[in-house]
Amino acid sequence: MAIDLEETYKDLHEHPELSYQEHRTAKIAADGLRALGIDVVEDIGRTGVAGVLANGDGPTVLLRADMDALPVAEETSLDYASTQRATDPDGNDVPVMHACGHDVHVTCLLGAAEALVGSKDEWHGTVVFVFQPAEEVGSGAHAMVDDGLYDRVPKPDIVLGQHVAPAPAGVVGVHAGPAFAATDDVIVTLHGEGGHGSRPEATIDPVVMAAATVMRLQTIVSREIAGGETAVVTVGTLHAGTKINIIPPDATLGINIRTYDTGVRDRVVAAIERIANGEAAASGAPRMPDVETLDSFPVLHNDEAATERTIGAFRAAFGAERVIDPGRVTGSEDVGTLATAAGVPIVYWLLGGLDPSLFTHGLANGTTDADIPSNHSPHFAPLIHPTLETGVQALVVAAREWLG
């Protein structure tokens, strides 16, 4: 029975799951592969799934889709919008949404599996279909590799994959070289001395300390990084206090960094620590802040020669006008780990997923950023058609280019 791409996508979108909780999604992937006659291995790296389609002698190609969703409350008003909730790793009850489009990725990979099974007389080699958990926390690819992925499935000659993006549906975007940024998450805990809100003079207020630190952190990119270099520093969380009239003893900042160069990355991390220490000293803090680096993704480097070969296949299939170079993306991806662990090249591209009319309106009015929801937005809603069809075709075209 043919896979209904639209119904599969809507079902996945309506039932998102957080990182390492993708049990339902993994079962859909595994069952879908088995129904196509593909050998399946489950529970790799906790919830990961891999399928192996062997079709004679030839190269081995790995196609990857990530499965996890985000703790975001959906605001799309779609009739298949998510109303799911889950418990996050810290024990909090949170809303869950496929705000990054991993439901598109899973659907397209299942569609590509069906297409490749149906065209086995036209190619030879082996295709490994990987449905990866926990991309959003940067550890899912490592978890699968560490759990013996390449002991359970053939080691590939190339890794291929795609990510739906706020670009016009029907377009694919590929950039050779450093394509996706490295990212680091840094937690800074500022220490003060708490007390009554009516007597701030008897305290050392970490909220004021945190506010000053947030503002000063903005000068790292604007005043410490050269114009020809790239860095992004975002304070995504600020937590302090339990009651309006209590000055808390501590405040915690969650900071996200994006870079392409290890030297720039090291300078940014050092600047964060220096600024946090400086603001603590200026406030008379009882002790210096705690600075902890958490999740980290490396730069995703698209192999230049492999990328040019894949671009040629895309241009032949889609036409040159539908194949673009988006430049370097400041978003990050852990899929490169699958290639690095195997010692093989990777080609990873963007899949346009939004209504082209949004771009026409945005460009005409100079409101592109305001009009077009980005990944991780509660309004992110990929256009089902032709996004799914283009995504399936892109995976098949790329795989067939590398298969015999």
From first to last of its 404 residues, what are the pLDDT tens digits of the chain?
Answer: 589 999 999 999 999 999 999 999 999 999 999 999 999 999 999 999 999 999 999 999 999 999 999 999 999 999 999 999 999 999 999 999 999 999 999 999 999 999 999 999 999 999 999 999 999 999 999 999 999 999 999 999 999 999 999 999 999 999 999 999 999 999 999 999 999 999 999 999 999 999 999 999 999 999 999 999 999 999 999 999 999 999 999 999 999 999 999 999 999 999 999 999 999 999 999 999 999 998 788 999 999 999 999 999 999 999 999 999 999 999 999 999 999 999 999 999 999 999 998 888 777 788 877 889 999 999 999 999 999 999 999 999 999 999 98
Q: Are residues 315 and 390 in the same domain?
A: yes
7 contact partners, CB below 8 Å, separation of at least 6: none
Assign residue 313 the CATH number of its domain. 3.40.630.10
What sections of 246-293 are H helices per DSSP?
262-283
In this prediction, residue 322 carries a pLDDT of 98
Please give the full DSSP string across 307-354, using - where no structure is assigned.
HHHHHHHHHHHH-GGGEE----BSS--STHHHHHHHT--EEEEEEEEE
- Please list the helix, strand and coil fractions of the chain in percent, rounded to the nearest 5, in that order: 40, 30, 35
Work out the burial of residue 7: count CB atoms within 10 Å of its CB; fewer than 13 is exposed, 13-18 middle, 19 or more buried: exposed
Distance, in Å, from the CA atom of 312 to the CA atom of 209, rounded to the nearest integer, reads 54
Q: Are residues 187 and 261 in the same domain?
A: yes
Q: Are residues 345 and 242 in the same domain?
A: no
Assign residue 262 the CATH number of its domain. 3.30.70.360
Q: Are residues 16 and 123 in the same domain?
A: yes
In this prediction, residue 1 carries a pLDDT of 59
Q: Any idea what the Cα angle at residue 74 is, between residues 111 and 183, rounded to 5°?
A: 75
Q: Which structural domain, as residue segments, surrounds residue 188? A: 182-296
Q: Are residues 271 and 311 in the same domain?
A: no
CA distances from 210 to 13, 167, 217, 268, 282 (A): 37, 36, 10, 18, 12
If one counts the domains in the chain, the total is 2
Q: Which of 250, 267, 296 is the last residue of a domain?
A: 296
Distance, in Å, from the CA atom of 9 to the CA atom of 20, rounded to the nearest integer, reads 20
Please give the full DSSP string across 35-99, using - where no structure is assigned.
HTT-EEEEEETTTEEEEEEEESSS-EEEEEEE---BS----S--TT----EEE-TTS-EEE-B-T
Strand, helix or coil at 253?
strand
Distance, in Å, from the CA atom of 129 to the CA atom of 305, rounded to the nearest integer, reads 23
In this prediction, residue 28 carries a pLDDT of 98
Q: Are residues 37 and 174 in the same domain?
A: yes
Q: Are residues 359 and 373 in the same domain?
A: yes
Q: Are residues 37 and 145 in the same domain?
A: yes
**Is 301 annotated for ligand binding?**
no
Q: Are residues 191 and 168 in the same domain?
A: no
Q: Which of 249, 271, 296 is the last residue of a domain?
A: 296
Q: Are residues 286 and 313 in the same domain?
A: no
Nearest residue to 64 via CA among 401, 404, 403, 398: 398
Q: Are residues 173 and 239 in the same domain?
A: no
Q: Which of 276, 296, 316 is the last residue of a domain?
A: 296
Q: Are residues 170 and 48 in the same domain?
A: yes
Q: Are 151 and 145 in contact (CB under 8 A)?
A: no
In this prediction, residue 368 carries a pLDDT of 79
**Is 102 annotated for ligand binding?**
yes
